[in-house]
Amino acid sequence: MADLKTIYMGLELKNPVIVGSSGLTSNLESIKKLAKVGASAIVLKSLFEEQIMMEVNKHMEDYNPFHGHTEMYDYQKYFEKQHLLENYLQLIKDVKQEVDIPIIASINCMTSAEWTDFAKDIESAGADALELNIFFLPSDPKMHGKDNENVYFDIIKKVTTEISIPVSIKISYYFDNLANTLQRLSQTSIKGMVLFNRFYNTDIDIEKEEITSGNFYSTSDDMSNTLRWIGIMSGLVDCDLCATTGIHNGSDAIKFLLAGASAVQMVSSIYINSADIIEKSLNEINDWMEKHNYESIDKFRGKLSKSSEMNSTLYERVQFMKYFGTKKK
């Protein structure tokens, strides 16, 4: 058997396949099953800042502070929020008692205001690491690119100064200069970056003339953008890189490892194929490594990254031009 161990965020993982934040990781029984079939780590379902505030406000309609109940309103708002947070902390505690793989808490945040104290609670509950899922669509033309970037740096600074467990950020590619921003983010106190967020896909029903959602699950074809940027940045950043979106089998995982990723996150494939796809993917990785005489992942990780001189131009546009310049009709 090949050695599938890898290091991500300073955590020793028994293999590179992590189950990403999703409904799959929202309850104890599901997490136990995922660990049993070989998952090396679990990213708990994200706690959404926006969702929490919506839930709180929904339950606060009877406590309008403008109707003379300011103290009651403040108390009830605090109580509702704490109830939601306590459930999350209890899940961390329960999971840590039942499984022996790293548990990564996840917070989906848009500001730094709400999460500093809660990050401490997550650490105290026993989480091995924290993933900050930071994303807001830069759709306001009044905002400058630098203003959007500052939100990310502000969140990172406020959270990492409060806790000692490793912190990663899961981000999008909506930046003015993506390579420069990724490099500067990696030079903060974070230990990992997860590339990239998979967005809610927008579609339009032309018969009903309504805005609808697009494909819910990813496919292997969706990995291209992430694969390109893992390959470009793996030798240029000061933290570990983890790939997400489009990892459906062992072959997909191998591609990202060759490009320089430390680990990959799998979600859609588990929904489509069941949790058994994890074990199957690990067998594929092992078989490929034995076939190519690799004793460990470190022996081939980053072999096809841009930092390799012979691969440097293949991640750039010349590859696209070369394809159409040589393709026969």
User: Where are the domains positioned within the chain?
Assistant: 6-302
For residue 173, the model assigns a pLDDT of 87
CB atoms within 10 A of CB 103: 22
Q: Residues 140-174, buried b or exposed e (16+ Cβ, 10 A)? A: eeeeeeeebbebbeebbeebbeebebbbbbbbbeb
Q: Which residues pair with 131 in a beta bridge?
A: 106, 168
Q: Which residues pair with 130 in a beta bridge?
A: 105, 167
CB atoms within 10 A of CB 56: 18
Could you tell me the fold of the domain covering 6-302? Answer: TIM Barrel (3.20.20)
Q: Give mean pLDDT in consecutive 10-residue pieces for the chain, a chain of 329 residues.
A: 96 98 96 98 83 47 46 42 81 97 91 74 96 75 74 92 96 89 97 86 79 75 92 96 96 98 97 97 98 98 80 57 53
How far is the C-alpha of 26 from the C-alpha of 88, rounded, in Å?
9
Amino acid letter, residue 319? Q
For residue 70, the model assigns a pLDDT of 42
For residue 66, the model assigns a pLDDT of 44
How far is the C-alpha of 237 from the C-alpha of 307, rounded, in Å?
11
For residue 108, the model assigns a pLDDT of 86
